[in-house]
Chain A
Amino acid sequence: MWRRRGWRAFARHDDEGILDDQGTLHDDTNMLTGAIIAGVVFGLYYTLVGLGLNLVFGVMRIVNLAHGDFLMLGGIAAWFLFTSLGLHPLVSAGLVVVVFVLIGLPIYYLVVPRLLRSRDSEMLSLILFFGVSQMIEAVTTIGLGSTERSLPPRLLGVGPVILFGTRLPKAWIFSAIASAVAVLLVYLYLYRTRLGTLTRAVMVSRDEALATGIDVNFVSAVAFGISLALAGVAGVFAPFILGSITPNMGVAINITAFAVIVVGTLGNPLGTLLGGIIYGVSLMLMQTYLSSWANLLPNLLLIAVLLVRPEGIFGRKVRRA
């Protein structure tokens, strides 16, 4: 089935018999495994992109629509640190984590507690963070102009890594590893630290956590900071995965990140891993067999999952009563 569709786009040449059937079949198998392997690795990067967004949603029940813009800022930071100080992106990634956590705390206290007091904070958060996103984009454009910026590919090594017979860029492997480390660290934070335990308590019920005397605001502020740090780290790798960064890239990143976490399981940061991989693999399959329709995919995935299985994998009610 997939084979036929794959050839639809240039069926006319197939008819002319340019490609013999044997060769075609062989190539198709390569394409399929290549797409799946690349999809898994690419999906790991998207796990990193969505992880922070999901953490914030899980803890605060708000959607940070400026997540993609913080990612962009992480990329800009890495670009700036490299061009002015010659810092290696992996070093920048460490710096970005620290700085972004510290930036996250005041932003949280300025905005979120007040937002959560409103009648429909989940909805209003969309609009509020859209405003934040606009401000970030504007400041970046004013400061740096709107052209593409990037880091030299050689920083993470040039040339392919061959994984199960599929050629992948070295940078993909680096960011997949970074992503895996981030998921692990978030897991350890949530399940092996005191603050993490309190964070999980807030995720279960903010009101009850408040009633038991947990400093809900502090717990949430830290989660918010971690979320920005995760976005920032994803941003450091963005030039290597997405080619370049521009001030207006945030919106597209947000839609994809949201699709990833919805598919994974909203409010469950670790479910993001599953969402990322599903997204990565299906995107690569789309690129292989129906390339011009590839952008339809995150949108359809998102709608389909919300309608058919809104609770994701581990379940949380999102429909109206």
Chain B
Amino acid sequence: MPDTGAEARAKLVRRVILDTSIAAVVVIGMGVARGVYSNELMLFNFVMFLALAQGLNIIYGFTGYLPFGYVGFYGAGAYGFSLVVMHLHASALVGMAAAAVAALVLAVILLPLLRLSGAYFAIASMAAAQAVYEVVANPDLENITKGPYGVSLSDVFAPAFSYYIALAILAFTLLLVVWLRNSRFGMSLQAIRDDSVSAAMAGVSVVRGRTIAWLLSALVAGLVGGVFAWHISVFYPDTAFDLNISIFATVFLLFGGATTLCGPLLGVFILYGIYNVIGIAVPQYFEFTYGALIVLLVLFLPNGLVSLLTNRGIRVP
């Protein structure tokens, strides 16, 4: 029986409630965890990667573009925050706004990259992130960015407050994904990803859709980068533009399964959990295991953990 009208709407409402509850459980859980478990930075890193994996989900899961240089927005956010705080002595919240702006400006500059397909886009975005890093870390710009000598923001250091702001960013990101999963706009993005020509023939503005997804995705990374700068307060450009951040977020996303809400969450909790628990115990074999895991994943489960269920026709939130 196909469902119609009211029935479809009721089903949609049920989905949104379920998705939102999952998001709420994660955010509240990470909030409570801070009171129970005292390695705040580990929890903070979890929050960061949860948000980054979902931010990447917005662009990769919904439009099929995989930016290897996603960390570029994160770094732009971190430096957007730092510049405003260092030079204008602005408050941390103003810094967060600057982080968002910095990431969005970079995203607009890089819009032409969306003309590239697949691997070309991935590599070009990585080159772009590296280029931004080379500029920020250049000693010629020492008066502006502090060049390679690193940033110190002890004036605004507030680990507890910034932790909760990170949680708020995570909540915002999760809600974005819930919205995309249950809205016509999200549906249109998936249509673009499946076949952009066909999507145009459904009346979808392909350029507009991709642009919005790209900006949202960059915004998330920029905010996360900003709150990272705030939380950690002393860092070098190498830290803010560490390519491993892109790679981790990508692997978490793919491991769990893109386009879903649960996939990236599972990816972060499982893989980053393993990284923190086992990675500490036997580090020398960890990098090898990680590499092997990635290879096996691509070969045998290219659509992530959730595809174990979705392949059986079960809908995963």
Contacts and interface: CB of A to CB of B under 8 A. Distances in A.
Partners in one complex: yes
Interface stretch (A71-79, A118-126, A149-157, A232-240): A118-126
B302 A132 contact: no
Contact of B197 (A131, A295, A321): A321
Given A131-B298, A306-B120, A138 B139 contact: no
Contacts of B287: 134-135, 137-138, 141
Contacts of B197: 321
Given A126-B66, A128-B294, A307-B112, 13 more contacts: A63-B119, A111-B295, A122-B118, A123-B122, A126-B123, A131-B297, A132-B295, A142-B284, A142-B288, A255-B126, A259-B127, A295-B134, A310-B116
B284 A126 contact: no
A123 B63 CA distance: 14
A127 B250 contact: yes
A321 B302 contact: no
Nearest to A63: B119
Interface of A is mostly: helix
Interface string A271-301: 0000000000000000000001101101110
B198 to A, nearest CB: 11
Nearest to B115: A319
A124 B301 CA distance: 11
A258 B126 CA distance: 11
Contacts of A321: 196-197
Interface of B is mostly: helix
Most B CB contacts (10 A, CB to CB) among A130, A295, A320, A321 go to: A320
A303 B124 contact: yes
A150 to B, nearest CB: 24
Nearest to B120: A318
Interface of B: 64, 66, 68, 112-113, 115-120, 122-124, 126-128, 130-131, 134-135, 138-140, 196-197, 243, 247, 250-251, 254, 284-288, 290-295, 297-299, 302
Chain A: interface size category: 35 or more
Given A303-B128, A306-B120, A310-B120, A119 B302 contact: yes
Contacts, number: 132
A227 B128 CA distance: 27
Contacts of B128: 299, 303
A114 interface: yes
17 contacts: A127-B294, A130-B247, A131-B295, A133-B291, A135-B291, A135-B292, A139-B288, A141-B287, A258-B123, A295-B130, A303-B124, A306-B124, A307-B112, A307-B115, A310-B120, A318-B120, A320-B116
Given A125-B119, A318-B117, A131 B292 contact: yes
Most B CB contacts (10 A, CB to CB) among A124, A127, A132 go to: A127
B298 A115 contact: yes
